[in-house]
């Protein structure tokens, strides 16, 4: 059994076979035609759908699909995710990072973040020069910058705290 959350509506999905599924205990017989690796044509209940996989994040179990050229973001949970939710352990896999530390000794070239700024995972925060190379340090999580303990031209040691999150 799976759960699929689409636009704040959760659906219970059970796959009986490749062409037979249950959605909220309602059976659907599917007729698939593979157009390409990411595109399929689907017929069910005498209705035709063009389905395209736009984006897939296996780690976060997030999918973006287009159905008849309308995009949908879908959050998926398998039976293990559902069990962890029932046991109150659903958020144990989320990253809880409070600080960014210097990965090596070096010289701060530029600080791209500002205190109070909301940042997204992967966003550039700081440029550190080490061994004659510039290294861009990125945010490991979504968060808000609480403090910045360095400024450009500062020399830092390995594991020195550079930026803290709220």
Tens-digit pLDDT string for the chain (166 aa): 899 999 889 999 999 998 999 999 999 999 999 999 999 999 999 999 999 999 999 888 899 999 999 999 999 998 888 887 777 766 555 557 789 999 999 999 999 999 999 999 899 999 999 988 999 999 988 899 999 999 999 999 999 999 999 8
Q: What is the pLDDT of residue 80?
A: 85
Fold of 2-93: Lipocalin (2.40.128)
Which pLDDT belongs to residue 95?
59
In whole angstroms, give the CA distance from residue 123 to residue 137. Answer: 9
In angstroms, the CA 109 to CA 27 distance is 60
At 81, phi and psi to the nearest 5? -60, -40
- Give pLDDT, residue 160: 95
CATH 2.40.50.100 placement within the chain: 99-165
Please give the model's pTM, rounded to 2 decimal places.
0.53
| Residue ranges, CATH 2.40.128, the chain | 2-93
Say if CB 121 and CB 165 are below 8 A apart: no
Report the distance separating Cα 8 and Cα 156, nearest Å.
45
Instruction: Give the span between the Cα atoms of 104 and 114, in whole angstroms.
Output: 22
DSSP 99-158: EEE-SSSEEEEEE---TT-EE-TT-EEEEEEETTEEEEEE-SSSEEEEEE---TT-EE-T
- Please tell me the predicted confidence (pLDDT) of residue 89: 67
DSSP 17-57: ETTEEEETTEEEE-EEEE-SSSEEEEEETTEEEEEEEEEEE
Q: Please name the fold of domain 99-165.
A: OB fold (Dihydrolipoamide Acetyltransferase, E2P) (2.40.50)
So what's the pLDDT on residue 97? Answer: 79
* 22: β partners: 14, 27
pLDDT for 90 equals 62
């Amino acid at each position: 059994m799976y759960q699929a959350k689409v636009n704040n509506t959760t659906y219970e999905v059970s796959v009986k076979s490749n062409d037979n599924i249950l959605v909220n205990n309602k059976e659907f017989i599917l007729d698939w035609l593979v157009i390409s690796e990411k595109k399929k044509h689907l017929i069910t209940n005498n209705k035709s759908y063009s389905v395209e996989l736009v984006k897939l994040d296996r780690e976060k179990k997030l999918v973006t699909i287009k159905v008849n050229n309308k995009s949908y973001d879908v959050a998926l949970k398998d039976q293990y995710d559902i069990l962890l939710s029932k046991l109150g352990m659903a958020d144990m896999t989320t990253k809880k990072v409070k600080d960014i530390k210097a990965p090596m000794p070096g010289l701060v070239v530029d600080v791209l973040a500002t205190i109070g700024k909301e940042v997204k995972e992967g966003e550039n925060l700081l440029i550190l020069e080490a061994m004659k190379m510039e290294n861009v340090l990125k945010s490991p999580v979504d968060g808000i910058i609480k403090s910045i303990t360095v400024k450009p031209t500062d020399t830092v040691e390995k594991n020195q705290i550079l930026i803290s999150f709220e």
